């Protein structure tokens, strides 16, 4: 199979690879193979962390582990698509999951959000790799089980708990994507946000009439001064998470009164 040629999807094979440590019998005899699925996945994660998801190809991973592309296909027959699913699952499985202790539900849900934000910061490629059909491996299942428990005791139905978690994670992912795009702009444009706004200020002063655009002028200046620019990821995250929690609070209170 030529390197990076899309393979025919095989959900059963992918599922078997995802759960390989649970399904495979312990190896007791014979030499340990120099190349393994784990080693291939580790190399792919390192490449993605350092260079982005586009850098992950069967050929680049093969070079990283000192093997041929065909050898990599022996361990990951589905190529890059299957490899990305394995990468996601491994990263999820390794994530920290502190005990809830005596935390209230808002603190638990905020902790889930913060954990996912940290995960995106450590592995920025996740925002491009996430899928509506998640790899159903031990990492994804463990993460899902833990995060669902943040909503225990709230009186929500199972469907509502799943929807609430999806709502929280959707906000975190959107914020992570915006933050990544904002962080990439200075390098891409060779200009900091402050320098870019300064360069636009004179032109804006000549073309924007404050009497015609009073809100845009007043509020834009206030927000820019407060945040140091038109967009500040940390401020957007804090404000957004407060609103997410407030919205969930209304749902919880409504369920209590029902």
pLDDT in tens, 26-69: 555 655 667 999 999 999 999 999 999 999 999 999 999 999 99
pLDDT in tens, 73-130: 999 999 999 999 999 999 999 999 999 999 999 999 999 999 999 999 999 999 998 6
pLDDT tier at 232, thresholds 50, 70, 90:
confident
Most confident of 59-73, 180-194, 197-211: 59-73
Q: Is the pLDDT of residue 5 over 60?
A: no
Provide the pLDDT for residue 194: 74
pLDDT in tens, 120-178: 999 999 999 867 778 899 999 999 999 999 999 999 999 999 999 999 999 999 999 99
Interval 6-11 mean pLDDT: 68
What does the H/E/C string look like for the chain?
A: CCCCCCCCCCHHHHHHHHCHHHHCCCCCCCCCCCCCHHHHHHHHHHHHHHHCHHHCCHHHHHHHHCCCHHHHHHHCCCHHHHHHHHHHHHHHHHCCCCCCCCCCHHHHHHHHHHHHHHHHHHCCCHHHHCCCCCCCCHHHHHHHHHHHHHHCCCCCCHHHHHHHHHHHHHHHHHHHHHHHHHHHHHHHHCCCHHHHHHHHHHHHHHHCCCCCCHHHHHHHHHHHHHHCCCCCHHHHHHHHHHHHHHHHHHHHHHHHHC
Provide the pLDDT for residue 3: 47
- Please, which residues have CB within 8 angstroms of residue 228's CB and are 6 or more apart in sequence? 193, 194
Provide the pLDDT for residue 28: 54
pLDDT tier at 236, thresholds 50, 70, 90:
very high
Average pLDDT value for the chain: 89
Return the higher-pLDDT residue of 12 and 109.
109
Q: Is the pLDDT of residue 9 over 80?
A: no
Interval 218-233 mean pLDDT: 81
Cα dihedral sign, 237-242-243-249: positive
Provide the pLDDT for residue 111: 98
For the chain, give every domain's residue range.
1-20+33-150, 166-258
Q: Which of 118, 90, 96 is nearest to 175 (CA)?
A: 118
What CATH architecture applies to the domain 1-20+33-150? Orthogonal Bundle (1.10)
């Amino acid at each position: 199979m030529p390197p990076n040629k899309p393979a025919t999807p095989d959900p059963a094979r992918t599922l078997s690879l995802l759960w390989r440590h649970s399904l495979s019998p312990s190896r007791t005899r014979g030499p340990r193979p120099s190349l393994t699925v784990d080693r291939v996945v580790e190399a792919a994660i390192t490449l993605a962390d350092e260079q982005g998801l586009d850098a992950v190809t069967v050929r680049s991973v093969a070079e990283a582990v000192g093997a041929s592309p065909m050898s990599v296909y022996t361990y990951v027959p589905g190529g890059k698509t299957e490899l990305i699913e394995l990468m996601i699952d491994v990263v999820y499985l390794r994530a920290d999951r502190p005990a809830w202790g005596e935390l209230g539900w808002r603190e638990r849900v905020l902790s889930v959000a913060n954990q996912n934000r940290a995960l995106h910061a450590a592995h920025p490629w996740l925002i491009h790799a996430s899928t509506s059909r998640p790899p159903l491996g031990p990492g994804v299942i463990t993460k899902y089980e833990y995060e669902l428990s943040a909503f225990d005791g709230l009186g929500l139905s199972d469907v509502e708990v799943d929807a609430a978690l999806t709502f929280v994670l959707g906000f975190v992912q959107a914020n992570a994507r915006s933050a990544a795009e904002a962080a990439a702009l200075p390098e891409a444009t060779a200009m900091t946000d402050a320098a870019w706004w300064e360069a636009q200020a004179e032109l804006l002063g000549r073309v924007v009439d404050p009497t015609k655009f009073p809100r845009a002028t007043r509020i834009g200046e206030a927000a820019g001064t407060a945040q140091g620019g038109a967009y500040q990821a940390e401020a957007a995250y804090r404000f957004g998470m407060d609103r997410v929690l407030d919205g969930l609070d209304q749902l919880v209170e409504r369920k209590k009164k029902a």
